[in-house]
Amino acid sequence: MKIRLFVLLGSILLFSALKLPAEDGYELWLRYLPETDPERREYISGILGQVVLDLSTSTGQVIDEEIQKATRGMLGEALPCRRDFAKRATLVIGTPGRFGIFNTDAVRGELDGVGPEGYFMGRVSYGKRDYLVIAANEPAGALYGTFHLLRILQSGSILTDRPITENPKIRHRLLNHWDNPDRTVERGYAGFSIWDWHKLPHYIDPGIKDYARANASLGINGTVITNVNANAVVLTSPYIEKVAALAEVFRPYGIKIYLTARFSSPAEIGGLSTSDPLDPAVREWWVAKADEIYASIPDFGGFLVKANSEGQPGPQDYGRTHADGANMLADALAPHGGIVMWRAFVYSHEIAEDRAKQAYNEFVPLDGRFRDNVFIQVKNGPIDFQPREPFHPLFGAMPGTALAPELQITQEYLGQGTHLVYLAPLFEECLDSDTYLPREGSTVARIIDGSVDNREQSAIAGVSNIGTDRNWTGHLFGQANWYAFGRLAWDHGLSSEEIAEEWIKLTFGKDPFLVGIIREIMLSSREAAVNYMTPLGLHHIMGEGHHYGPGPWVSGGRPDWTSVYYHRADSMGIGFDRTASGSNALRQYAPEVQEIFSDPETCPDAYLLWFHHLPWDFTMKSGGSLWEELCRKYDAGVRSVGRMRESWQKVEGKMDEERYQSVRSLLKIQEIEARWWRNACLLYFQSHSGLPFPPDIEQPEGTLREYMNLRFPYAPGIRPTW
């Protein structure tokens, strides 16, 4: 009996020892877990054992804190940095002027081409010794270089003899928060806003600093903290004081703060009778407001504006143009170095024109009329963050204007907070698209980074998925999309595969089996979602208002807010004809693009029903009919999620139980909802085609009426009306 008890106790102790520590996802990709391999510990110690650092700036102090966090986590002992140069230094971090090593020709030569935010990392000979250095022209560059080094050490990689020289390809790399003053988040699926306006400016949650750390680790250097559906209250003096308190936290991390500007603010909070951008009193009001903001926030970034879109006020209310409105704000900000990001997401149901064409029609005639500090912020596609869209025709069509792509990190149309959908392939798909304007090779990425038109100004924005949920993003894999946006904003030449592998190693560990399984899940997830939601170029067929779940039957009211407006299914066929025989939206693209998409025989299947209305019996490239292909795509999406679930089960025990079970539960929800999408959509489209389902797919369950009667009054992501 004693022997059995001893064996039992031993087994319990062994199980406890093997069980991985609980994690809740709060640490993101900055976990700094203990390094157990002796050789690896020695290698890390050989680099971080004695760091010499310029501690005279607030950013230098942040670097010191980060290195102490890293060494405490990986080596078990926090190793503070030295402020004075030492011959036995293992790493020297700084900018020219502080230490003699940075004034050598070798370092200065490397820094000539990296700009204010870039950095050089490599071995440098100085005083008959070789030192590893991270050198930058400005403290922010030194911070980015430090995070790069820590990323290498965390992921199990080693530094090669080849020096690393990096410079961000895009200058302004911003998150856009759609957060309201009452702390609700429009299209947010991770809890409430992290900005606690009620307690600001006197209390700042410690998590705000961790938010800044996470962004800086990716090279994100700006954040718009308020909703594009703006509230003028954020421009009042009490709120400017609150914003200034946040800016104090962000500043050492190289992050500028931006605000959304409600266009009607002069009349709403300024006591004026008008907000006409050509009225001298209105212009003076904005100048005074900019002066007030910069007096409190010297490094304020500027304004993001949604105007004359979805009910928001704008210059057209006064018979003025978008250029009139944007330039008024740009003139107010210019003396301080601020920028205006003017959103091109404009459309109106009162215009009898394909919604996909309206932004192009409004903005292209204004090309060259915007101030140099104005960016036109353009969604990746011409409709609205759909699971798949062709690139927006504005890219390449406005050579005289700075354009900034707007990518959605939060998954409004991609399963919201319950679906695992890795978005790097979507971002990459847009950025790599060739516009052929003005010539072949003019990709969206090269247009927005300024290399096509030799433009110095460049910007990119991502709509944030961050909230008060402990793991920041609701779904653990939502962190990967925040990470991917930041890495692509820094270097759009990175691949989805590279970014996924980086994130997995930093988030879950270096085990090759685990990395391989999760990488496969991530890289297949976006195509799976497209298939079970909107295959073959279908779009905008989600539920009404909340956008949760399928709603291909949505009709009535504003046509451009319905689903039937976009898929146009009838007894003859399905799809939106955007060729010359239809809305001719295709004409807004370069001739080379038109040639690819205009013929259904050459149009890629992925965009077929975006550009063409085709009969149900149209013969696809696979040899089957359009109806059969549509059914099989929907079914393939469901099957893909089933494989994702099976694959995830293989990593049980290779990570902490808490995060494993969280993802496992959400994958179950995703498979249920993928079936819901497939069943509801195919039953609805069958009511038009009148054709049977192919026998080789899982037959849709339920009735169309049952799916149409589902209601979700408390679906997340929309602002409460009470």
Tell me: the pLDDT tens digits for 387-431? 999 999 999 999 999 999 999 999 999 999 999 999 999 999 999
Determine contact, residues 618/576, Cβ cutoff 8 Å.
Answer: no
Q: Which of 145, 49, 157, 24 is nearest to 507 (CA)?
A: 24
Q: Are residues 139 and 214 in the same domain?
A: no
**Is the pLDDT assigned to residue 370 strictly greater than 60?**
yes
Q: Which of 590, 585, 578 is nearest to 397 (CA)?
A: 590
- Paired with 310 in beta bridges are none
Q: Are residues 479 and 623 in the same domain?
A: no
Determine contact, residues 159/152, Cβ cutoff 8 Å.
Answer: yes
CATH of the domain at 656: 3.90.1330.10
Determine contact, residues 419/475, Cβ cutoff 8 Å.
Answer: yes
Q: Is the dihedral of CA 544, 550, 554, 560 positive or negative?
A: positive
- Does residue 520 sit within a domain? no
**Is the pLDDT assigned to residue 20 strictly greater than 90?**
no
Q: Are residues 210 and 101 in the same domain?
A: no
Distance CA 686, CA 630 (A): 11
Distance CA 644, CA 649 (A): 9
Q: Which residues contact 309 (CB under 8 A, 6 or more apart)?
A: 343, 345, 346, 347
Torsion of CA 264, 268, 271, 275, to 10 degrees: 10
Residue 36's domain comprises 24-166
- Does residue 504 sit within a domain? no
Q: Are residues 407 and 553 in the same domain?
A: no
Q: Which residues contact 497 (CB under 8 A, 6 or more apart)?
A: 519, 523
CA angle 281, 284, 290 (to 5 degrees): 145
Q: Which of 642, 619, 628, 641 is nearest to 697 (CA)?
A: 628
Q: Among 498, 520, 541, give the residue marking a domain's end.
A: 498
Tell me: the pLDDT tens digits for 59-82? 999 999 999 999 999 999 999 999
Which of the two residues, 183 and 8, has the higher pLDDT score? 183
Helix (H), strand (E) at residue 260: strand 256-260
Residue 722 has what pLDDT? Answer: 38
- Does residue 719 sit within a domain? no
Strands 164-166 and 129-135: unpaired
Residue 472 has what pLDDT? Answer: 98
Distance CA 445, CA 109 (A): 28
CATH of the domain at 72: 3.30.379.10
DSSP state of 343: E
Q: Which residues contact 588 (CB under 8 A, 6 or more apart)?
A: 357, 360, 393, 397
Q: Which residues contact 696 (CB under 8 A, 6 or more apart)?
A: 632
Backbone angles phi, psi at 695, to 5 degrees: -70, -20
Determine contact, residues 608/575, Cβ cutoff 8 Å.
Answer: yes
Q: Which tokens sit at 251?
A: 């500043």
Q: Among 478, 498, 518, give the residue marking a domain's end.
A: 498
The chain-wide mean pLDDT, for the chain, equals 95
Q: Are residues 446 and 303 in the same domain?
A: yes
Residue 81 has what pLDDT? Answer: 96
CA angle 572, 578, 583 (to 5 degrees): 100
DSSP reduced 3-state for 91:
strand
Residue 461 has what pLDDT? Answer: 98
Q: Which of 150, 189, 211, 154 is nearest to 476 (CA)?
A: 189
Range list of H helices, 491-581: 496-507, 512-533, 564-567
Q: Are residues 412 and 267 in the same domain?
A: yes
State in Å, rounded, how far the first CA of the chain is from the last one: 65
Distance CA 481, CA 513 (A): 22
**Mean pLDDT within 363-383:** 98
Query: Which positions are catalytic?
Result: 310, 384, 412
Torsion of CA 680, 686, 687, 691, to 10 degrees: -160
Residue 364 has what pLDDT? Answer: 98
| Percentage of the chain exceeding pLDDT 90 | 93
Q: Which residues contact 243 (CB under 8 A, 6 or more apart)?
A: 225, 234, 257, 259, 293, 296, 297
Q: Are residues 336 and 460 in the same domain?
A: yes
C-alpha count within 13 angstroms, C-beta hemisphere, residue 592 = 11
pTM for this predicted structure: 0.96
Residue 21 has what pLDDT? Answer: 87
The label of the residue with tokens 């693009």 reads 593
- Does residue 66 sit within a domain? yes
Q: Which tokens sit at 606?
A: 């992925």
Q: Are residues 225 and 123 in the same domain?
A: no
Determine contact, residues 718/546, Cβ cutoff 8 Å.
Answer: yes
CATH of the domain at 447: 3.20.20.80
Residue 714 has what pLDDT? Answer: 86
Q: Are residues 262 and 202 in the same domain?
A: yes
- Does residue 9 sit within a domain? no
Distance CA 352, CA 303 (A): 31
Residue 19 has what pLDDT? Answer: 65
Q: Are residues 482 and 543 in the same domain?
A: no
Torsion of CA 227, 233, 238, 240, to 10 degrees: 40
- Does residue 524 sit within a domain? no
Q: Which of 35, 15, 17, 14 is nearest to 509 (CA)?
A: 35
Tell me: the pLDDT tens digits for 166-195? 999 999 999 999 999 999 999 999 999 999
- Paired with 130 in beta bridges are 125
Domain count, the chain: 3
Distance CA 550, CA 708 (A): 9
Q: Among 133, 166, 199, give the residue marking a domain's end.
A: 166
AA identity, residue 119 = Y
**Is the pLDDT assigned to residue 8 strictly greater than 60?**
no
**Is the pLDDT assigned to residue 14 strictly greater than 90?**
no
**Is the pLDDT assigned to residue 721 strictly greater than 50?**
no
The label of the residue with tokens 């928001």 reads 312
Q: Are residues 396 and 336 in the same domain?
A: yes
AA identity, residue 409 = I
| Cβ neighbour number for residue 31 with a 10 Å cutoff | 16
719 confidence band (pLDDT: 50, 70, 90):
low
Determine contact, residues 142/165, Cβ cutoff 8 Å.
Answer: no
Residue 397 has what pLDDT? Answer: 98
Gyration radius (Cα) of the chain, Å:
27
Residue 3 has what pLDDT? Answer: 42
Tell me: the pLDDT tens digits for 120-162? 999 999 999 999 999 999 999 999 999 999 999 999 999 988 9
- Does residue 16 sit within a domain? no
Q: Which of 243, 239, 173 is nearest to 208 (CA)?
A: 243
Distances, alpha carbon 116 to alpha carbons 136, 138, 554, 557, in Å:
7, 5, 51, 51
**Is the pLDDT assigned to residue 633 strictly greater than 60?**
yes
Tell me: the pLDDT tens digits for 251-262? 999 999 999 999
Q: Are residues 327 and 425 in the same domain?
A: yes
Distance CA 240, CA 261 (A): 12
- Does residue 645 sit within a domain? yes
Q: Report how many helices (DSSP H) and strands (DSSP E) the chain contains, helices first.
A: 22, 15
Q: Which tokens sit at 121?
A: 């990392």
Tell me: the pLDDT tens digits for 464-520? 999 999 999 999 999 999 999 999 999 999 999 999 999 999 999 999 999 999 999
CA angle 654, 656, 658 (to 5 degrees): 135
User: Residues in the chain, how many?
Assistant: 722
**Is the pLDDT assigned to residue 718 strictly greater than 90?**
no
